[in-house]
């Protein structure tokens, strides 16, 4: 694959021209916002493959979904352990997996790029990679993972071989390649400042950020708060997984609370860092959302290890727990607020850790602005009960005021009964990824590699609904959620924290729905800021 440098160079020249014309009085800031498109600045923000180096195979090996923008070149490694060893030797490495899990996080954190055979734009690999700004390609379903290598058709790529991936286009190329450098200039920040002025009072742009580092990076690129802090991502570090697994394996309530208290202690420190980075700006913290099996080893791997006689006592307990928490459809199973009703100490202790962090920051002279978000509610009583847990935690730590508690709108039912939810909520956050999945009946991690591209190519669908918001059905459900929620609570604040919050076309539709803010990954913030302003201007 050969990608010319022309796009980024032309975009840089356009930026210089419009900024100079505004300075000279020939254009207004609004004119500048109209003239520069989101695709122009996107080409400036991320590395891309510009051509292959000498001796490289010029043919594309395979193609998947571009899940996290940027390009990377490195040696292939098929396990996190092997990749960590390679990085210790000073190698640039790309992690190639069937799909990633929490056990892969140590390797993912130091990889140049990530490539998976399975998964969609909101798979584990995609979400983690976007949060960290690591180039990632997912859903490359032609890849077959073998022992010490992977294959695509008749081509075999051994561990240690070099590949290049493009997280924007989804291209995977065998051999080395030259990478273009991002061209971020002062003109870009001038333009985005004008865009913020245009969008002010109409559509704010926050970030999805799960760590203090993410929060600082988001603030540096103009986020006006955090719209989604996913507390589960705080449990993925190597020193955290054993603690949450101890909670899962607990056989008594006392053992469960002991493990949760250990989690709360480290999570409080995480919250302090995030609140310090976002001091004075709103931070929306979502309590635990995924099902518990996502924190456990894969059942099949444990079964194989058991057959080989490789499991110790803890391994057997993990196998029993993995079997217990396994579900046929975990995305619509025991997760979110449903899990909290099974394990009610979970949300109480998470909320306590958050409010202790608020108290700590206030004692240090900070101005923490916290909003607590309850995921996956489908009825007013669910929200009301979760709110009680959060309020009890606030009172326990002496917060001094009623906490701000809201909920996500992620299912068609939640959108339809939004009035009943709003009666117990201070804000809504539209989870457009899950709402799309449940409206279409599509598994977002499965359909991309099976039939979705064919559907779009043959006209059965106009576009990928996980990439661009579906106007006809999902858009109407968002309209209803906003309308019915505000009919009960006038002025109810509504945000959107799905992937659509970073897509320019979707942003125009979301503005029409009346939402107050968008929340996207830090890497997509500049594009979202410009797109929000252009939507306000009707471009």
Q: How many angstroms separate the CA atoms of 349 and 537, rounded?
A: 45
Q: Which residues contact 101 (CB under 8 A, 6 or more apart)?
A: 124, 294, 297, 298
**Chain segment 476-520, per-residue pLDDT in tens:** 999 999 999 999 999 999 999 988 999 999 999 999 999 999 999
For 201-291+327-537, CATH number?
A: 3.20.20.60
CB 322 within 8 A of CB 296: yes
Distance linking the first and last C-alpha atoms of the chain: 33
Q: What angle do CA 495, 496, 499 make, to 5 degrees?
A: 160
Q: How is residue 331 annotated by DSSP?
A: G
Annotation marks residue 497 as catalytic: yes
Q: How many angstroms separate the CA atoms of 171 and 43, rounded?
A: 16
SS3 83: helix
Q: How many angstroms separate the CA atoms of 272 and 234, rounded?
A: 13
pLDDT at 56: 43
Domain ranges within the chain, ordered by starting residue = 49-179, 201-291+327-537
Can you name the CATH fold of 49-179?
Answer: Glucose Oxidase; domain 1 (3.50.30)
The single residue of 46, 124, 233, 424 carrying the catalytic annotation is 124
Considering Cα of 444, then 447, then 453, then 455, what sign does the dihedral take?
Answer: negative
R_g (Cα) of the chain, nearest Å = 23
pLDDT at 54: 42
**Chain segment 237-255, per-residue pLDDT in tens:** 777 889 999 999 999 999 9
With CA atoms as reference, report the closest residue to 525 among 312, 214, 288: 214
The single residue of 229, 293, 424, 497 carrying the catalytic annotation is 497
CB 77 within 8 A of CB 93: yes
pLDDT at 449: 67
Annotation marks residue 520 as catalytic: no
Residues of the chain short of pLDDT 70, as ranges, are 1-7, 51-58, 449
With CA atoms as reference, report the closest residue to 527 among 179, 215, 168, 181: 168
Tokens of 293: 């099996």
Q: How many angstroms separate the CA atoms of 463 and 47, rounded?
A: 26
């Amino acid at each position: 694959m050969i990608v010319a440098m022309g796009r980024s160079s032309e975009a840089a020249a356009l930026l210089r021209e419009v900024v100079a014309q505004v300075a000279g009085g020939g254009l207004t800031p609004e004119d500048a916002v109209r003239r520069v498109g989101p695709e122009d600045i996107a080409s400036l923000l991320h590395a891309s493959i510009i051509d292959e180096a000498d001796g490289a195979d010029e043919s594309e090996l395979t193609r998947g979904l571009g899940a996290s923008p940027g390009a990377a070149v490195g040696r292939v490694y098929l396990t996190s352990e092997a990749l960590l060893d390679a990085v210790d030797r000073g190698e640039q490495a790309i992690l190639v997996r069937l799909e990633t899990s929490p056990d892969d996080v140590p390797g993912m954190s130091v990889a140049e790029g990530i490539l998976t055979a399975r998964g969609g734009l909101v798979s584990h690999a995609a979400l983690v990679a976007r949060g960290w700004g690591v180039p990632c390609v997912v859903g490359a379903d032609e890849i077959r993972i073998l022992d010490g290598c992977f294959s695509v058709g008749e081509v075999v790529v051994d561990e240690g071989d070099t590949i290049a991936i493009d997280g924007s286009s989804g291209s995977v190329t065998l051999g080395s390649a030259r990478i273009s450098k991002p061209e971020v200039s002062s003109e870009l920040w001038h333009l985005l400042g004008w865009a913020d002025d245009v969008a002010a009072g109409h559509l704010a742009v926050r970030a999805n950020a799960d760590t203090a580092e993410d929060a600082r990076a988001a603030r540096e690129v103009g986020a006006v708060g955090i719209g989604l802090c996913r507390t589960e991502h705080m449990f993925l570090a190597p020193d955290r997984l054993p603690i949450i697994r101890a909670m899962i394996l607990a056989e008594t309530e006392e053992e469960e609370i002991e493990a949760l208290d250990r989690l709360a202690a480290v999570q409080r420190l995480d919250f302090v860092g995030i609140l310090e980075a976002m001091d004075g700006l709103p931070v929306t913290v979502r309590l635990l959302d995924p099902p518990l099996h996502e924190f456990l080893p894969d059942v099949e791997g444990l079964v194989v290890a058991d057959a080989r006689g490789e499991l110790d006592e803890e391994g057997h307990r993990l196998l029993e727990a993995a079997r217990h928490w396994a579900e046929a459809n975990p995305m619509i199973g025991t997760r979110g607020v449903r899990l909290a009703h099974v394990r009610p100490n979970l949300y109480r202790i998470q909320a306590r850790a958050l409010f202790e962090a608020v108290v700590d920051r206030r004692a240090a002279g900070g101005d923490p602005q916290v909003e607590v978000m309850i995921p996956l509610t489908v009825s007013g009583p669910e929200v009301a009960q979760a709110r009680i847990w959060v309020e009890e935690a606030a009172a326990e730590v002496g917060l001094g005021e009623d906490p701000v508690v809201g909920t996500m709108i992620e299912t068609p039912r939640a959108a339809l009964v939004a009035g009943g939810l709003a009666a117990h909520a201070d804000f809504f956050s539209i989870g457009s990824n899950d709402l799309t999945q449940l409206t279409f009946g599509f598994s977002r991690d499965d359909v991309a590699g099976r039939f979705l591209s064919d559907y779009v190519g043959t006209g059965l669908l106009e576009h990928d609904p996980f990439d661009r918001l579906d106007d006809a059905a999902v858009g109407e459900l968002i309209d209803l959620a906003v309308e019915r929620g505000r009919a009960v609570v006038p002025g109810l604040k509504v945000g959107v924290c799905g992937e659509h919050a970073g897509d320019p076309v979707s942003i125009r539709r979301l503005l029409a729905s009346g939402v107050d803010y968008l929340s996207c990954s830090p890497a997509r913030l500049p594009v979202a800021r410009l797109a929000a302003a252009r939507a306000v201007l009707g471009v």
